[in-house]
Amino acid sequence: MNSQTEKRLIAGPAGLIECAIDSPGAESAPRGLALICHPNPTQGGTMDNKVVQTLARAFVQLGYRTARFNFRGIGKSEGAWDEGRGEIDDALAVLAAVRASDEPFVLAGFSFGAYVSTQAALRLPEEARAERLVLVGPATSRFNTAAVPADTVVIHGEVDDVVPLSSVLDWARPQALPVVVVPGVGHFFHGQLPLLKNIVVRSWQA
């Protein structure tokens, strides 16, 4: 993301996992860790995706350390695509390796990464739950996106041509879960990444 980004390889269930860690300024201690999951690796998704980097910038601005990582088989991460099953294990392995003891943390993801975040959240023990989830363009029409806590931030483009808004609303409706809809915006938030960043920051400050 910038010259201060720390690159790290950690041990994962299918081999080494490539991570990128960004930290807020040294003037204050981080308020926690934000783990950010990238979109579908079979369709070119990586930890350097622009939406993923935008989420990282938002969380750094909010005072979090952020960890992005490549799912198995992408970049320097070892292993091969596991249709969304092993990728949940990858996320949990990175969380365990990067998170300090008892450090508060947030799970965030874009598209396929949002699905992974919801499933990873389900697997965590009660005493180690995420303080919040942030889901951008969740791939509800393509993967079994789990139900989420009531304070989850869900952001979706009105004219998303990859995951229809109607699919996200159908997933959110039984949960009475609000969805922030960005008018005129597609799946990748082209031209509206600053707005996406501001929505995340404002949702925290509110």
pLDDT in tens, 84-103: 999 999 999 999 999 998 99
Instruction: Report yes or no on 168 lying in a domain.
Output: yes
125-134, pLDDT tens digit by residue? 988 999 999 9
Instruction: Report yes or no on 103 lying in a domain.
Output: yes
What pLDDT is recorded for position 43?
94
* pTM (predicted TM-score): 0.97
What pLDDT is recorded for position 27?
72
Angle, to 10 degrees, between the axis of helix 86-98 and the axis of helix 112-123? 70
Instruction: Report yes or no on 190 lying in a domain.
Output: yes
Instruction: Report yes or no on 46 lying in a domain.
Output: yes
What percent of the residues of the chain are helix, what percent strand, and what percent coil, each to the nearest 5? Answer: 35, 20, 45
**Total count of domains within the chain:** 1
- Residue ranges in the chain modelled with pLDDT below 70: 1-3, 206
Instruction: Report yes or no on 27 lying in a domain.
Output: yes
Instruction: Report yes or no on 1 lying in a domain.
Output: no
What pLDDT is recorded for position 111?
98
What pLDDT is recorded for position 126?
87
Residue in this structure with the two tokens 């931030």, named with its chain if needed: 153
Instruction: Report yes or no on 52 lying in a domain.
Output: yes
Nearest to 16 by CA among 82, 84, 71: 71
CATH of the domain at 21: 3.40.50.1820
Across 6-83, the runs of DSSP E, i.e. the strands, are 6-12, 15-22, 33-37, 65-69
End-to-end CA, the chain: 27
**C-alpha 46: how far from chain center:** 12
What pLDDT is recorded for position 25?
80
Instruction: Report yes or no on 160 lying in a domain.
Output: yes
- Residue 187 CA to residue 89 CA, distance in Å, equals 25
Residue in this structure with the two tokens 């939406």, named with its chain if needed: 51
What pLDDT is recorded for position 127?
86
Q: Is 79 left (phi over 0), alpha (psi -120 to 50) or beta?
A: left
Residue span of the structural domain in which 111 resides = 6-205
What pLDDT is recorded for position 1?
60
